[in-house]
Amino acid sequence: MDGKRVLVTGGTGFIGSNLANALAADNDVVALDNGFLGTVDNLEDAVTYVEADVLDDDLPTDVDVVYHLAALSSRQLLEDHPREGTRVNVEGFVNVVEQAMADGCETVVYASTSSIYGDRTEPTPEDVPVDASTGYDASMLARERYAEYYNDFYDDLALAGMRFFSVYQGYGGAESHKGTFANTVSQFAGKIADGTPPVLWGDGSQTRDFTHVQDVVRGLELAAEHRLDGVYNLGTGESYSFNEVVDLLNDALGTDVEPVYEPIPLTNYVHDTCADSSTFRDATGWNPEIDFEEGVERVCRPYIETAKNDER
C-alpha cells in the first residue's frame, strides 16, 4: 500500500478513520461517510473527506483499492432500523462493489463480523458453521454471500471479508462521540476514570477476543496488498472476561471501582468469542503486536495524563 488511490467507506468512523489516517502517509486516500456514527474531526488533514452515502450514485470509486467499512454496525441498530440496516449493509455493499467494478477497481476489502459464530470458547476457524441469530448477523452474512458470488463470477476481482472480533481503542481514538455504541473497553475506561461503576451483564464472566485497532489496520492493509479473496478472522486468539477488563483498567488507572451487575437483557447473547486467525496469518504473515495488557495501558494513558495536569 504505497502510492495507491484508496477509498475508505465509513471513513470517519472508528476503524475507518484509523485506517484512512494510517494509509494517508503513503497513499491518496478518500474517506467517504454520511456522518451517522463518525465525525470528520477523526480525520487528519492528509485525508480527503467526501460526505456521501453508500447508497448514492456516482461514488468516488475510481481507485485502486476500496475498503468498505460503512455499516449500521451493531445488533441494536438493526433491531431499531431493520429496513434501513438491510439497505445500508447489503444494498450499500452491492452498490459500492458494482461502482468499483465499473471504474476498474479490482480489490475490495470489506467488514464482516465474528458474531455469526455464536458462543465459542475455543479459538474459532472460518470453516465452522455460522448462524444468523440477529438481523445484524444476517446482513453481514449477506455481504459474504454476495462477495462469494463476485469472487466466483469475475476472474479479476478480489473481495476479502474481514470477520472482526472486539476491536478497541480509547475514547481518544475516534469514539468519544458514540456513547453506548463505542467499544466496550473505552466505555469501561471512561466510566472507571470518572469514578462511575461500569455495568456488566450477568456475572461478568463473558469473554471477548479484544484486538487493538492498530493491529486491525495492519491486517486490513495486508489483505489488500495480498489481494485476498474469501473470509478471514482478524483477532488475537486470546480472550479476556469483562471482570478481567475491569481489573486491568483499575490497575492501570490506580482506581478501585467495582462494577454493577445486571441480568443479561438479550436473547441469543454471545457470551464468548475467540479467533483462530491462522488462515490469515499464513496468507499474509500478520500477527498482533499489541497484547491486551499493553492496549489497556494505552487506553488509560490519556486519563492518567489529564489527572496529572489537573493536579498541577
Q: What percent of the chain has pLDDT over 90?
A: 82
Whether pLDDT at 177 is above 60: no
Predicted model pTM: 0.94
Contact residues for 127 (Cβ-Cβ < 8 A; gap 6+): none
List pLDDT tens digits, range 227-245.
Answer: 999 999 999 999 999 999 9
* pLDDT for 75: 81
pLDDT-based confidence at 102, cuts 50/70/90? very high
Nearest Cα to 201, choosing from 153, 158, 259, 250?
Answer: 259
Q: For residue 292, with 0-12 CB atoms within 10 Å meaning exposed, 13-18 middle and 19 or more buried, which class applies?
A: buried
Whether pLDDT at 179 is above 90: no
Cell of 149: 458470488
Ranges assigned E (strand) in the chain:
5-9, 28-33, 48-51, 65-68, 107-113, 158-164, 166-168, 199-201, 207-208, 210-212, 230-234, 240-241, 260-262
Q: Which of 15-19, 136-140, 168-172 has the lowest mean pLDDT?
A: 168-172
Q: Which of 56-60, 69-73, 148-152, 209-213 has the lowest mean pLDDT?
A: 69-73
List pLDDT tens digits, range 251-282.
Answer: 999 999 999 999 999 888 899 999 999 999 99
